[in-house]
């Protein structure tokens, strides 16, 4: 089977790596991929948002299965487009992907179907939103409705900060049309985690879950990033909690989407807060997580191609999805300055000097003119290890990561450090 993975981050490198282990995989393509995918797949010089370009090339190459990594092409209808051309594609349609691309839609869905989430009100008028915020007690959470590359949410500690955020979002249009509508919601406290499930629109099969570290500096300080590291499974994720998440969140959400005439197929990703009153949804995403994929897919024992095809064909009930009992830890190496500005184009050394069981998933890397691996983006790569315990996996990662060097290389030292 010829398979195309859309995207160029470490999540997509992990997908390519996992798919390459399938006996059904003959050739794998990545669009655009990175220096890591170039070693095990063919990189195509096509951007993930160039849906027509991707469809044309997929036809020419005889692609038989497409997997989409990032949210923007999903929100723009890449799945609908490929379905029209008859090429099997894994992911939700545009209408189903609205569970991520419109926070107002997701919120209305959760409220209508009693899926636990933060109390909130949505607004399309600036003046009304402003009045509402003035009546709240801080902290208060302000969310842009649409996709904002992870920057559309502010947990404001004061009313002036919330008003500033609102003005930035709705008046100054910091996130463009994504800020035409906003959600103002209560601030939840508890343990944050990401839950995932494969679904064909009927059957829901949980994946292992993970914790993600968004702030750039140790101790969760500094601005939010796309994610600086992750581990799986969360140390507090008991079988009872897992059951509750599946029964009160994932299954009801999939049922609700079907009822709304937006059958959801793909991976459903619940960003959750485990509060004293049980798990509640912060947001839904319509795809695999990044960096969570780097620590969940290595634990998958079942052939990923079989799962993806069963989701597409609507017979996921026929598949037994198995996971390793091991733990997995991934630490992101980024460039100093990220998530702000940074300098790229420097050689990466030490990749050939790592212990045998260490995995390195590339993100912002490219191959230089002399074949050397160079930095090309803010998050450069994720270093991953599995172990019998989180502590063992963590030790392996940190024993190896310091051997990888590049100009401006930076990583958090406290990923998967479990404080009792």
Q: Which of 41, 129, 75 is nearest to 266 (CA)?
A: 75
Q: Which positions touch ligand AMP (CB under 6 A)?
A: 118, 141, 153, 155, 185, 187-188, 192, 214, 271, 282-283
**Interface map 226-255 toward ligand GLY (x if CB under 6 A):** -x----------------------------
Minimum distance from CB of 124 to ligand AMP (Å)? 19
Q: Is the CB of residue 198 less than 8 Å from the CB of residue 154?
A: no
Question: Which DSSP state fits 56?
Answer: H
| Cβ–Cβ under 8 Å, residues 228 and 334 | yes
Minimal distance, residue 346 CB to ligand AMP, in Å? 31
Contact between 212 and ligand GLY (CB under 6 A)?
yes
Residue 63 or 274: which CB sits closer to ligand AMP?
274
Select from ligand GLY, ligand AMP, none the partner in contact with residue 227, using the beta carbon and a kind-dependent cut-off of 5 to 8 Å: ligand GLY
Complex with ligand GLY: residue 16 or 374, whichever CB lies closer? 16
Q: Does 12 bind ligand GLY (CB under 6 A)?
A: no
CA separation (Å) from 37 to 34, 54, 177? 5, 17, 34
192 binds, among ligand GLY, ligand AMP, none (CB under 5 to 8 A by kind): ligand AMP
Please state the closest distance from residue 185 (CB atom) to ligand AMP, in A. Answer: 5
Residues whose CB falls within 8 Å of the CB of residue 174, separated by 6 or more in sequence, listed in order = 168
Using CA atoms, how far apart are residues 126 and 263, in angstroms rounded to an integer? 33
Return the bridge partners of 27, or none: 2
Scan residues 279-298 and list those touching ligand GLY (CB under 6 A): 285, 289-290, 292
Q: How far apart are CA 96 and CA 263, in angstroms?
A: 6
* Residue number with CB closer to ligand GLY (310 or 377): 377
Tally of CB atoms within 10 A around 362: 28
The CB-of-212 to ligand AMP minimum distance in angstroms stands at 8
Nearer to ligand GLY, 152 or 201 (CB): 152
Q: Which residue is nearest to ligand AMP (CB)?
A: 283
| Helix, strand or coil, per DSSP, at residue 281 | strand
C-beta separation of 205 from 198 below 8 A? yes
Q: Give the residue from 368, 410, 417, 208 showing the smallest Cα distance to 301.
A: 208
- State the nearest-atom distance from the C-beta of 214 to ligand GLY, in Å: 7
Partner whose binding site includes residue 200, from ligand AMP, ligand GLY, none (CB under 5 to 8 Å by kind): none
- Position of minimal CB gap to ligand GLY: 289
d(Cα 281, Cα 188) in Å, to the nearest integer? 10
């Amino acid at each position: 089977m010829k398979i195309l993975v859309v995207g160029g981050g470490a999540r997509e490198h992990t997908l390519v790596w996992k798919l390459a282990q399938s006996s059904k995989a003959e050739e794998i393509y990545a669009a655009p991929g990175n220096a890591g995918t170039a070693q095990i797949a063919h990189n195509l010089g096509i951007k993930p948002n160039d849906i027509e370009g991707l469809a044309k090339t997929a036809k020419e190459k005889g692609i038989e299965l497409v997997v989409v990594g990032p949210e923007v092409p999903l929100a723009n209808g890449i799945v609908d487009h490929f379905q029209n051309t008859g090429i099997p594609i894994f992911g939700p349609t545009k209408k189903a992907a609205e569970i991520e691309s419109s926070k107002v839609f997701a919120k209305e869905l959760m409220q209508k179907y009693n899926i636990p989430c933060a109390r909130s009100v949505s607004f399309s008028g600036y003046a009304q939103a402003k009045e509402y915020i003035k009546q709240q007690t801080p902290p208060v959470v302000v969310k842009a409705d649409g996709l904002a590359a992870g920057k559309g949410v502010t947990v404001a500690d004061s009313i002036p900060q919330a008003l500033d955020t609102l003005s930035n979002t709705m008046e100054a249009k910091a996130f463009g049309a994504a800020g035409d509508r906003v959600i103002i919601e209560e601030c939840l406290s508890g343990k944050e985690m990401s839950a995932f499930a494969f679904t064909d629109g009927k059957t829901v099969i949980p994946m292992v879950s993970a914790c993600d570290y968004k702030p750039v500096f140790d101790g969760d300080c500094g601005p939010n990033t796309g994610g600086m590291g992750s581990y799986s499974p969360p140390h507090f994720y008991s079988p009872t909690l897992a059951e509750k998440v599946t029964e009160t969140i994932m299954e009801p959400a999939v049922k609700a989407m079907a009822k709304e005439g937006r059958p959801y197929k793909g991976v459903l990703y619940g960003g959750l807060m485990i509060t004293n009153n049980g798990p509640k949804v912060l947001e839904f995403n319509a795809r695999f997580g990044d960096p969570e994929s780097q620590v969940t897919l290595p634990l998958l024992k079942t052939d990923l191609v079989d799962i993806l095809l069963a989701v597409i064909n609507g017979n996921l009930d026929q598949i037994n999805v198995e996971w390793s009992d091991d733990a997995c830890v991934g630490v992101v190496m980024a460039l100093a300055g990220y998530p702000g500005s940074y300098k790229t184009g420097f050689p990466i050394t030490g990749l050939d000097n790592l212990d045998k069981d260490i995995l390195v998933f590339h993100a912002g890397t490219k191959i230089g003119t002399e074949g050397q691996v160079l930095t090309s983006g803010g998050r450069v790569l994720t270093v991953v290890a599995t172990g019998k315990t989180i502590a063992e996996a963590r030790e392996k990662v940190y024993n190896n990561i310091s051997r990888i060097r590049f100009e401006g290389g930076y990583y958090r030292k406290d990923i998967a450090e479990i404080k009792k």
